[in-house]
Structure 1
């Protein structure tokens, strides 16, 4: 008797055929021509699928059964999720085991990497976060120029924040944009940590999506920007922020 593993293997092998039958029954010669295979191959594939009650023969050719329709929809979902997760490989590899976001949030995540343009992840991050009223997270100081552009929002109290920064980022700001650091300290709760933060997190509840995650390359460029939606993602982000805040030291004023 065929097993479930046999079924999955059969669906994977005959995916293109099932897809063609998804919008209605079709005859063997037409399927063979469209798929670029022999009629005997179509026959063999269809015979395997008939054994699982995924396909049946009709006067109008081969067609999917109700079970076949449901399995095809589910298989498509699994394929989409697998592709989505693989595209997030740099992020998932950078995350410690206890940092993983909720599965449901990852499934519908919006991903921007540098494949189309090397600066696309950073520019998307900036465009997204600049409209936030309040930000919670573990940001990285990538561009002092962009950071200075946000300083007026902090001075006018249009933007506030609760953040944990790596000590290297605090030192960078002290050297290059001390006035901006002062503006942030006046209107934000800032902690610094000597820990390495593997991914950079932004939670902005007034934006949609509400959670942003950044991975950095070896030269501290934004290599991937992932946006997550939903209450579970926000809850995860706030819990992760708290993990770093508990081990951070509050900075209230510059020396």
Structure 2
């Protein structure tokens, strides 16, 4: 998927706030990218525009050969159900449904048949084959997040957006969830875009994209937690002292 010169402004006139500014990014199939930046950098707005949850004010967002701006609301809803997966910090599982039903929910909402073999295989991929009849309250936090990941995978989406997927987990469980996300990229060829504030989480990705003031500040390949933390410290420092970010390495 690709964002070209995307801008997003909230409000009008003197009260207008630019959340994204001329942002261009591409995410190749089979890659794991983390998106980071200081508070107010535009991370959430980026995710909402990239995933078709909000329309940008300027620029284009393309998923495969589809220009999201050309779709009406009903078509956008279908695109999100069938071609995009979502994993959130809060899991967003339905407590009245079993693990199997929660995983199959996107297919059910789209009016598509739930193939038992496909459901079983998706559960196996995330290590939940023996938990299909359980309900969320019977699972640990890490297991619930695995259900959310399986739910994102069930439609075989072109891209999975993860918003702080380890934010509610302890460090050990968080590492397991990150390892699972990396595995579905490396072994299965899925595309994952993860918004996070955690340098350790970001170091699980193949690339980290840093945003500042709604614009691209830098992209880092083969990140380590130490390098990511150092870069974030520079961005935070620039944010508070007014240092220009343009041209920084």
Question: TM-score, length-normalised on structure 2?
Answer: 0.23
Larger radius of gyration: 1
Larger relative contact order (Cα-Cα within 8 Å, sequence gap ≥ 6): 2
Higher strand share: 2
